Amino acid sequence: MRERLKKIIEKSQHLVFFGGAGVSTESGIPDFRSEEGLYKTRNQFGYRPEEIVSHEFFFAHPDVFYRYYFAFMIHPQAKPNACHRALAKWEQEGKRVSVITQNIDGLHDMAGSGEVYELHGSIHRNNCVKCGKTYDLPYILDEKNTEKNIPYCHRCHGMIKPEVVLFGEPLDQEVIEGAVSAISQGDTLIIGGTSLAVYPAAGYVGAFRGGNVILINKEKTLGEVEADISIQGPIGEIMGSIAGI
Ligand code: BV8
Ligand code: ZN
């Protein structure tokens, strides 16, 4: 199976990668819907995690949101793993590699990929809800010890909101258009480390018109996908071995 996959990737000129939280578990960041995922494990907050990471909840209880966010969703020490690095390597070797990710950790950027569509935003961008001033991650990490753990804007004292797409919020139109266009142009689509449970993101893979669809996931996905090759296993190890890293 891996040999066949290796040949397909070698021949491919435009690889499209569509990934989710499972891509970063080998970097030490937990996913959401696995048995050990954030949505399955108990937390001390008294709310379901899906409720906490929603638009309505953020504005109703920003203090609880930020306690949860800092405790579980920010992993400043995480480094790209072999999956992130394999994609960057293939791009360096001359292929077009479009990376469409539902992750907010910025690890594809850090690995050196040049064409990354962050469908659900990024922990590295943060904006004041009042005046729009932008802040980086170190600022909000430093600010979290002040007033109720909520980071505030130093210019207007408005609340800062991470530029991540919470449940009930629309995805950025430009990012959607870029991602869908890239998917529709690719000759190979690799889907990996995602349950394909969250919409509209999961629906975008339907725009693929190319040759081979490859699925690499630890567990069965919740959303249906017809794959030419399906491999059950850890994506970092699999992609790394194919890329020879
Ligand atoms: C919107 C915050 C409209 C950021 C997240 C019913 C039907 C269709 C849609 C809906 C519906 N009811 C409600 C909706 C809408 C809702 C939705 O999809 N809900 C679902 C869950 C039912 N969607 C929204 O609200 C979206 N917005 O619709 O807006 C709108 C329009 C106009 C105006 C206003 C509003 C917004 C969705 C944003 C969600 N944001 N979190 C963050 O923290 O990241 S959710 C969260 O899910 C993350 O973002 C995550 O990226 C995303 C997807 O999950 P996955 O990445 O797939 O992760 P998961 O844990 O599920 O799976 C991991 C997989 O990897 C597992 O299968 C595991 O086996 C595998 N794995 C693990 N390790 C490895 C591995 N595989 C290989 N190797 C490994 N090492
Ligand atoms: Zn401000």
Point out the ligand 1 atom lying closest to the alpha carbon of residue 199: 18
Confidence at residue 88, expressed as pLDDT on a 0 to 100 scale: 98
Does 84 participate in catalysis according to the annotation?
A: no
Confidence at residue 1, expressed as pLDDT on a 0 to 100 scale: 80
Sheet harboring 121-128: ordered strands across? 134-135, 121-128, 160-164
Q: What is the pLDDT of residues 1-19, one digit of tens each?
A: 889 999 999 999 999 999 9
Residue 59: partners with Cβ closer than 8 Å, 6 or more residues away: none
Indicate which ligand has the atom closest to the C-alpha of 156. 2
Confidence at residue 149, expressed as pLDDT on a 0 to 100 scale: 86
Q: Is 169 in the pocket of ligand 1 (CB under 6 A)?
A: yes
Point out the ligand 1 atom lying closest to the alpha carbon of residue 26: 80
Q: What percent of the chain has pLDDT over 90?
A: 87
